[in-house]
Structure 1
């Protein structure tokens, strides 16, 4: 695939899904390919290029984890140590759990901490400290180490470890440990710095259905460790090349021993029924695509989506960033990644085929499932199942700013096996897989979606 061919496909896909702007980078056969489409903003348009900075959402977690692994390699942090060793101020509602959660539990999402706190602790240098001080209000949804459930709060707590051990702010620590040594000059957390570069803004469907600029550009500072970095697609490829390498920078400086860097790719906990991966390494989602192992991470913010996928055994990487809401951006990113994988590596990433509709099983799984900020509703209409995901009305009302749109009901189907796994078949969550959790009596108590547990709040609505 030449850059011309890649550009042609990216342009066609962006037009198909209605994406205002996107950037794609591919590392293959020791060379870079780039394709850029559209504009940074429909209201103040500038052409997107390889240095345009997009908000990368949860891809930020890979920077937090790698920075912490530098401290691990230096003997300043131990993965199996309790978090309290480095954050003695940590208080949780469950005091025993607070003593048991380890650093690795944060980095592979087995801490048992719920998704996140919906709060704003300001933009000062004390934002993370203030966030941690409120963690006693966060629910524990599982015993530490017992299962994986994706947690933004866990990574924010990991960011506080960086602050306490280095004596720096989180942002300054990550810059010193990874961004600056790797020459990632178009990767920053501070909006004041991003504003001096070309950057993209998000877009969501307006009242007429057409893309409209999303007014909340970035989340709170306390969420930076789990989702606050803005970066260019060129920097994302440089980041991927580092993780494909032996722990040295392009100038030969060793940042990590190869065994520590590559150890981040080894499974630490299995994932069940997830389109995101088969297991977690240290932060990375580990997934087999057509029999070949990959590592990767995606991210989303208000009207922007990012995807980074690395194939270590093939020396290959693809990075995508787009500035459109879920029905457009997420599906565009997925289409690009799949096309690039198939063209360059011959790997087909296909969604599984669901079982025929079973009314009895549908009634069993239908209901509402919720975390602190969102509700997932699974409904059965006698002919099929649908899944919708929505930010809770009280959360929207209290936010005081625009939040991402909800995911409208989309068809879903149960998958072969024990029938407790499912796949979403349309809409912005198309292709997302999950599974239902049962208690000892066989009663469904929760549903996993996007790697996180949504406890069941009531059966059939």
Structure 2
């Protein structure tokens, strides 16, 4: 496929979703292809290309995990060791190992919404506040996505190397992998062309997302900025043999399943950070990320030596925009079709079982039925907004969803920014619905 074909699809998709700037990169048949569309900012527009820096959000976790695995390969860290061996002051369960943090099975809740400053002690100060993070499952019992867990990994890296997290990752991973356009520091980013996030108002009008990036204490879980060219180089590194950073067997180990995921569009299983999913007969390895009005997707198909990366700069539709480009690339370069499951016809009795209110430490989730369909609304708790030290993103409009056939209590969102998002309802031993999982995060039923 030509660059023109990719460019045409990226332009059409960005236009459809109203995204100011999008950049995609594809590695196929031994060739890199890029397509940039639009502008970095509606207020201060510059053209987007493969060198434009975007915030990667949680794709940062793949860099954090790789840095940690280098320390494992060098004998500085043991995966099965308790995290207290490296961070004895961490206010977390003594049962949690480094491996539990890597594959999100530590039982930790999402995290702490707090600004711990821009000093070299920012990650350490974040970890000191982790007593506020709820345990939402027994250690090792299930995968539950945790930003706090990866920020704690960042502090393990600091303790073992004696360097601030950002500097340690640069020396362990970025520099030896040849990623010269990937940065954490504002000072590095602001002297180059970079994208800003945008938010869509109720009337569809876009405005600049502020702050541009969240606090330094969150860097291990989501603070890196990179370009499409560097992110595709990162993808190629993970398709390769780890030269200069990791032994090939350790790199390969990161992509092996360690815990199953149920009814998750993230994947069927999780490796050491990577989400693993079978798509139309091929195995994919990937990770997505979101920050304040910016979104990124990275997907590998190892058996076909293929990778696709996409970055966009407006919410909430940056997510479906990126996913549409990834799916198009899979279809047009590999002939692989990634399709959402079809929900079962509406069943009033099944619907009434799941109607109710659910919550976790940060959000509430309300399920309603109108006699023809089901709707799911997720809101950040008012007290979280009131006590937050930074402006939090706006809540999404309610999502229509449908239960999947077969009586599995699994569901799929059928419209809106999270179209295709899957999850499941859980029951107690008597068969009563007691909770719901969304995006790998559990909510307990309260009503």
TM-score, L = length of structure 1: 0.95
Please report how far the alpha carbon of residue 241 of structure 1 lies from its aligned counterpart in structure 2 after TM superposition. Answer: 0.5
From 332, 344, 347, the counterpart of 1:355: 344
Query: Which residue of the other structure, out of 258, 262, 280, is the alignment partner of 1:268?
Result: 258
Matched, 1:217 2:207: no
- What CA deviation, in whole Å up to 9, does each residue of 1:390-428 have, x standing for no partner? 222222233354322212112100012333100000011
CA distance in 2, matches of 1:401, 1:139: 21
After superposition, the CA RMSD in angstroms is: 1.1
Structure 2 residue matching 1:413: 3-state secondary structure: strand
2:23 aligned with 1:23, yes or no?
yes
Shift of 1:439: 2.1
1:118–1:373 Cα contact (<8 Å) kept = no
SS at match of 2:37: strand
For 1:412 and 1:151, the matched residues in 2 are separated by 25
- Given that 1:76 and 1:165 are in contact with CA atoms closer than 8 Å, whether structure 2 keeps it comes out as yes
Select the residue among 291, 294, 300 that pairs with 2:290: 300
What is the match of residue 307 of structure 2? 317
1:245 has 2:240 as partner: yes
Distance 1:318 1:293 in 2: 14
Q: Which residue of 2 aligns with 1:140?
A: 135
Query: Are 2:385 and 1:390 equivalent residues in the alignment?
Result: no
Aligned length: 447
Out of 194, 197, 200, the residue aligned to residue 189 of structure 2 is: 194
Gaps of 5+ in 1: 93-97, 249-253
Q: CA deviation at 1:359?
A: 1.3
Question: Are 2:85 and 1:90 equivalent residues in the alignment?
Answer: no
Q: Would you say the 8 A contact 2:114–2:389 is kept in 1?
A: no
- Deviation track 1:411-455 (CA, whole Å, cap 9, x = no partner) reads 100012333100000011110000112222222222111122222
Return 25-34 or 178-187, whichever deviates more. Answer: 178-187
**How many angstroms apart in 2 are the aligned matches of 1:401 and 1:141?**
25
Task: Note the C-alpha offset of 1:301.
Answer: 1.0
Partner of 1:366: 355
Q: Relative to 1, partners in 2 of residues 1:256 and 1:400: Cα closer, same or farther, differing over 3 Å?
A: closer
Corresponding residue number in structure 2 for 1:116: 111
Distance in structure 1 (CA, Å) of the matches to 2:231 and 2:365: 32
Matched-pair contact (CA < 8 Å) for 1:284–1:295: yes
Instruction: Report what 2:175 is aligned to.
Output: 180
8 A contact 1:162–1:170 mirrored in 2: yes
For 2:203 and 2:261, locate their aligned partners in 1 and report how far apart those are by CA, in whole Å: 39
Of 153, 161, 164, which aligns to 2:148? 153
SS in 1 for 2:131: helix
- How many angstroms apart in 2 are the aligned matches of 1:388 and 1:310? 32
What 5-or-longer segments of structure 2 have no aligned partner?
none
CA distance in 2 between partners of 1:383 and 1:48 (Å): 43
Q: Is the 8 A contact 1:436 1:444 kept in 2?
A: yes
Deviations 1:108-131, CA, capped at 9 Å, x for gaps = 000000111122221111111111
Partner of 1:95: none
- Residue aligning to 2:397: 408
Q: Choose which of 425, 429, 437 in structure 1 pairs with 2:414.
A: 425
Q: State the match for 1:43 in structure 2.
A: 43
Partner of 1:329: 318
Which shifted more, 272-281 or 375-384? Answer: 375-384
Cα-to-partner distance string for 1:130-156 (whole Å, 9 max, x where unaligned): 111121221101111111111111001
Q: Is the 8 A contact 1:118 1:372 kept in 2?
A: no
Residues 20 and 42, structure 1, Cα contact 8 Å, conserved in 2: yes
Contact 1:214/1:402 (8 A) holds in 2: no
| Equivalent position of 2:331 in the other structure | 342
Tell me how far 1:347 sits from its aligned partner: 0.5
Counterpart-to-counterpart distance in 2, 1:288 and 1:405: 33
Listed one character per residue, the Cα deviations across residues 65-107 of structure 1 (whole Å, up to 9, x for unaligned) are: 0000000000110111111111111123xxxxx1111111000
- Return the alpha-carbon distance in structure 2 between the equivalents of residues 412 and 182 of structure 1: 42
- CA deviations on 1:185-217 (whole Å, 9 max, x unpaired) are 111111121111111001111353221111221
